[in-house]
């Protein structure tokens, strides 16, 4: 079956892509590029790095613009999926949803209307186990955005490793933080992993942070041999 992966470049969409590749053919990555950093549906930090990731994965990417207006952006997603179906002949959509009913339900509805299969391989996965599995398999993931107390600027650009996972576990116990960021607390970007044919090297970046909210903005990056 030919599949299109809803692809933000974060850990969940990358790992969902990896799981989809085990059983079917991933024909394309579908990336919605939002004009609004406050998008309800779509990941926004460093979203343009998905072009480099697509090259590193050697999978075609369909980039689709959206203004990021709540509910209206669903029509943009519907149009992007229809374009992927026309261009790549996809028969199903893969998502990286874990607990977000808001996102999963809307994608499933669009797929149902289009007669496409919707595959959610991470749905209801234990979030800490998920983070550990990603690290153990050799994926290099950095934190590209934080949006909640008590995250400080030291989290921005930090790599997710066992030390960070233990810190997230403590925050979950104390503040009910979703360790995988399912509540919008954080966003990530994957720089390398077993399914990558090349790795992404960050050359220049800056942190923008205030009031427990911030982004790690990559200004320049390149592909490098592994």
Q: Which of 119, 141, 171 is the C-terminal boundary of a domain? A: 119
Q: Which of 119, 145, 164 is the C-terminal boundary of a domain? A: 119
d(CA 48, CA 59) in angstroms, rounded, equals 15
d(CA 123, CA 133) in angstroms, rounded, equals 15
* Structure confidence at residue 184 (pLDDT): 87
Which of 3, 6, 2, 4 shows the shortest CA–CA distance to 106? 6
Residues 68 and 140 occupy one common structural domain: no
CATH number of the domain enclosing 153: 3.90.1490.10
pLDDT tens over the chain, length 226 residues: 999 999 999 999 999 999 999 989 999 999 999 876 665 556 678 999 999 999 999 999 999 998 767 777 889 999 999 999 999 999 999 999 998 887 888 999 999 999 999 999 999 999 999 999 999 999 999 999 999 999 999 999 999 999 999 999 999 999 999 999 988 899 999 999 999 999 999 999 999 999 999 999 999 999 999 9
* Structure confidence at residue 44 (pLDDT): 75
- C-alpha distance across the termini of the chain, in Å: 30
Domain that holds residue 192: 128-224
Residues 73 and 145 occupy one common structural domain: no
Residues 140 and 113 occupy one common structural domain: no
Q: Which of 73, 95, 119 is the C-terminal boundary of a domain? A: 119
Residues 100 and 139 occupy one common structural domain: no
Residues 174 and 71 occupy one common structural domain: no
Residues 42 and 139 occupy one common structural domain: no
Plot region of 155 (φ>0 → left; ψ -120 to 50 → alpha; else → beta): alpha
Residues 101 and 166 occupy one common structural domain: no
Residues 138 and 212 occupy one common structural domain: yes
CATH number of the domain enclosing 74: 3.40.50.620
Residues 42 and 79 occupy one common structural domain: yes
* Structure confidence at residue 42 (pLDDT): 64
In this prediction the pTM is 0.94
Q: Are 179 and 133 in contact (CB under 8 A)?
A: no
Residues 112 and 185 occupy one common structural domain: no
Give the total number of structural domains in the chain. Answer: 2
Residues 146 and 169 occupy one common structural domain: yes
CA dist 74 → 3, 85, 132, 190 (Å) = 19, 16, 32, 25
Residues 95 and 133 occupy one common structural domain: no
The packing angle between helices 72-88 and 101-114, to 10°, is 50
């Amino acid at each position: 079956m030919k599949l299109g992966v809803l692809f933000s470049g974060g850990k969940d969409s990358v790992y969902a892509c990896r799981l989809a590749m085990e059983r079917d053919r991933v024909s394309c990555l579908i990336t919605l590029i939002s004009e609004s950093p406050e998008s309800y549906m779509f990941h926004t930090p460093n979203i343009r790095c998905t072009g480099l990731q697509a090259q590193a994965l050697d999978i075609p990417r369909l980039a689709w613009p959206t203004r990021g207006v709540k509910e209206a952006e669903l029509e943009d997603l519907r149009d992007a999926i229809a374009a992927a179906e026309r261009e790549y002949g996809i028969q199903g959509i893969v998502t990286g949803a874990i607990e977000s009913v808001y996102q999963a339900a809307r994608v499933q509805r669009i797929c149902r209307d289009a007669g496409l299969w919707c595959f959610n391989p991470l749905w209801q996965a234990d979030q800490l186990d998920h983070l550990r599995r990603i690290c153990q398999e050799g994926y290099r993931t950095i934190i590209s955005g934080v949006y909640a107390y008590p995250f400080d600027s030291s989290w921005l650009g930090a790599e997710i490793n066992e030390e960070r996972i233990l810190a997230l576990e403590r925050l979950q116990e104390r503040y009910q933080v979703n360790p995988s960021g399912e509540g919008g607390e954080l966003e990530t970007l994957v720089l390398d992993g077993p399914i990558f044919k090349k790795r992404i090297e960050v050359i220049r970046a800056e942190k923008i942070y205030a009031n427990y909210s911030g982004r790690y903005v990559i200004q320049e990056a390149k592909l490098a041999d592994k």
